Chain A
């Protein structure tokens, strides 16, 4: 009984939103060539292969149907309403998805919980390999949106913007950044020149962004021989272009604070670890010239390569690789609601992204209060206020907060 009430409460709220705000939903460019998909509240199925000639008919459809989630294709098709093989792919935007799930965060996701599907054992953080109680390996995971996670996702997004501008030459006008309404950011490159890129080409772009397959020898980390002397290791400098500079800057940052444990973890021997941790000042100083490569006695070329590989990891952007390479992917539509939060996918201004606060900007229900019964929820912020933690209690909170708890399955309508 309660479950149904909660569900229809959420649905009523979503209906209210689309009645009042559907007109704010911007049409994707070439709307008539896009496929749309809708996750339905009642049936919990995805209604796919829909097409709309104009934004008005899409907006009317949303008011009438009130889906829990709304998606459109990054791709353009001749016939978007046909089955996949008949659609006639014409091209696709280049899309990146940065999700907190893919980023190791300082909060170690303590707000997330998992439940063993076999015995019901509950734990915090990411689920273990095997259940400590019964040894089975299947878990249901519950994630939460937290400021720390969202901040790291934003930091990754800023890294991505920087890389796409400097290396790939995209202008701020060609890129759109969005907060997804849940735990991450989307970046769309809508420039004509990327439309025709095939999945292989997109995979190469992904590898560039995440630094996979990168060999430091192609970026200036090489041993040079002059005359009969033994070879001298040379490496990139801080002002280097493309990945060269990133390797140098990553190395600079890593060695500034690297603990012996961190250095051991990347496979360095004790002698090298001692040198690198005891001569930090000399290393910092060396970046004024050619960098520390080859001048630290006791650190072999092999060790430097390991340090540089760690630098690549630090400088790479943690994106969801599948989203970018899949040229038929459906993406959440801007200004529509996220079924897991009741928040909206909103555009983020590229200049000023530092000051963007997703937990304020994505709120849609700004009026009224609702009483709900919370089974369990960690502490969180929404808007200016901090809420929780809650455990088995009845609370009266602003509509947006109640909706978030309800959508997350952490509360019921009272």
Chain B
């Protein structure tokens, strides 16, 4: 088995050679990797022939990069990263440490028991945070870890999981490199894969939010902010941002959001309009902002406490969608 680190780092290829017949089986395997990532989020069984398997990876990377499709890139990077972490399961601690060091992690092998747990690694907290903030589980919050002298204490399984994130970001980085012109037969393969992804994606399209604002479907945090602003009470900057971005994303017009702030004693129409338009994506960077996640709202003291629905979601907009669904399901019953 090729070493996982080198495996993802051998990414130099000579494009001109690709059309020659000896590359056929490598291109097939590369295509298969992408196809399986699209269809089932894995990269499947490796080819038993290392001369095919190893070069098929950089070629697959190049093909995905050529699609210029950010969603496909993400999906492929995730599938490859999952594969690496699966391979890591059977590796020794020493090997895992070696691979981590290849990504410049500051990591040490240890054997420390605290309570009923035995830790195998101590990893510098910056390397931990770089990879753990993307994982949505309480166990990955820094505050729930043993942190000592700048290091986070981890088991081998946990380090493998963090490496998966690192590899994913590493591959995503590679996928964003501009690819020059590829030979036509390879472009044909790329087009085919892209079409397959479009078909698959059609089925997983996110549901859109309905028009019109439903205040009774607001999560408790947004409701509290909304009530505060409606009665002219002062709310913090984070609160204003959360409320505005929520309302914009729920479909409220810039005009109506600006009106809402009118009752504040420090209301400045020009300034408010500028800021609301900025959040709505009409200015500057042209990106529409989404409200902060639940745990961010908790950090800044905006969360007034969770209710039943809150426990099942991580984002105020997810709450809104879910509650709307519940309300809509209830309405016909009431009428009956």
With known contacts A206-B299, A242-B147, A213–B141 Cβ distance under 8 A: yes
Smallest beta-carbon distance A307→chain B, Å: 18
Quote the shortest CB–CB distance from A369 to chain B (angstroms). 38
In the assembled complex, the Cα of A92 lies from the Cα of B265 at a distance in Å of: 34
Question: Which stretch of A73-81, A189-197, A276-284, A384-392 is in the interface?
Answer: A189-197
| B285/A243 in contact, CB under 8 A | no
Q: Mark B137-170, 1 if CB is under 8 A from A, else 0.
A: 0110111111111110000000000000000000
Are B233 and A241 within 8 A (Cβ)?
no
Q: Is residue A214 contacting chain B, with contact meaning CB distance below 8 A? A: yes
Option from A170, A203, A220, A321 in Cβ contact (under 8 Å) with B301: A321
Closest to A137 in B: B233
Digit string of B288-312 for contact with A (CB within 8 Å is 1, else 0)? 0000000110111100000000000
Contacts of B142 in A (CB 8 A): 204-205, 207-208
Cα–Cα, bound, A234→B116 (Å) = 10
Residue from the list A166, A169, A220 in contact with B115, Cβ < 8 A: A220
Say yes or no: A242-B148 contact (C-beta < 8 A), given A204-B133, A212-B299. Answer: yes
Which of under 10, 10 to 19, 20 to 34, or 35 or more describes the interface residues of B?
35 or more
Q: Could you say which of B132, B148, B238 contacts A322, with CB atoms under 8 Å apart? A: B238
Q: B232 to chain A: which residues have CB within 8 Å? A: 136-138
What chain A residues lie within 8 Å of B295 (beta carbons)? 203, 207, 213
Contact of B296 among A169, A203, A214, A218 (CB under 8 A): A203
Q: Which residues of A contact B284 (CB under 8 A)?
A: 84-85
B139 / chain A contacts, CB cutoff of 8 Å: 218
Q: Is the CB of A194 within 8 A of B126?
A: yes
A201 at interface, CB cutoff 8 A: yes
Whether A169 pairs with B150 at a CB distance below 8 angstroms is yes
Neighbouring B residues of A166 by C-beta, 8 Å: 148-149
Closest CB in chain B relative to A313 CB, distance in Å:
13
Is A167 interfacial (CB-CB < 8 Å)?
yes
Q: Using Cβ atoms and an 8 Å threshold, which residues of chain A touch B238?
A: 322
Please tell me if A211 contacts chain B, counting CB pairs below 8 Å: yes
CB of B114 within 8 Å of the partner chain: yes
Please give the distance in Å from B248's CB to the nearest CB on chain A. Answer: 19
Which B residue's beta carbon lies closest to that of A201? B129
Residue in contact with B144 in the complex, picked from A203, A206, A219, CB distance below 8 Å: A219
B234 close to A (CB within 8 Å): yes
A322–B238 alpha-carbon span in the complex (Å): 8
Given A85-B284, A169-B150, A321-B300, is A193 in contact with B143 using a C-beta cutoff of 8 Å? no
Report yes or no: A138 in contact with B300, Cβ–Cβ below 8 A: no
Say yes or no: B146 contacts A193, CB within 8 Å.
Answer: no
Residues of B19-68 at the interface with A, using a CB-CB cut-off of 8 Å, are none
Q: Tell me whether A157 is interfacial, beta carbon within 8 Å.
A: no
Beyond known contacts A201-B129, A242-B148, A244-B115: 17 more, CB 8 A cutoff: A85-B284, A137-B231, A137-B233, A138-B265, A168-B147, A168-B150, A204-B129, A204-B142, A205-B129, A212-B143, A218-B138, A224-B116, A236-B115, A241-B114, A243-B146, A244-B114, A322-B237
Per CB-CB distance, the 7 closest pairs between chain A and chain B, nearest first, are A169-B150, A201-B129, A218-B144, A169-B149, A200-B133, A204-B142, A208-B143
- Using CB atoms and an 8 Å cutoff, list the residues of chain B in contact with chain A: 114-116, 124-126, 129-130, 132-133, 138-139, 141-151, 231-234, 236-238, 265, 284-285, 295-296, 298-301
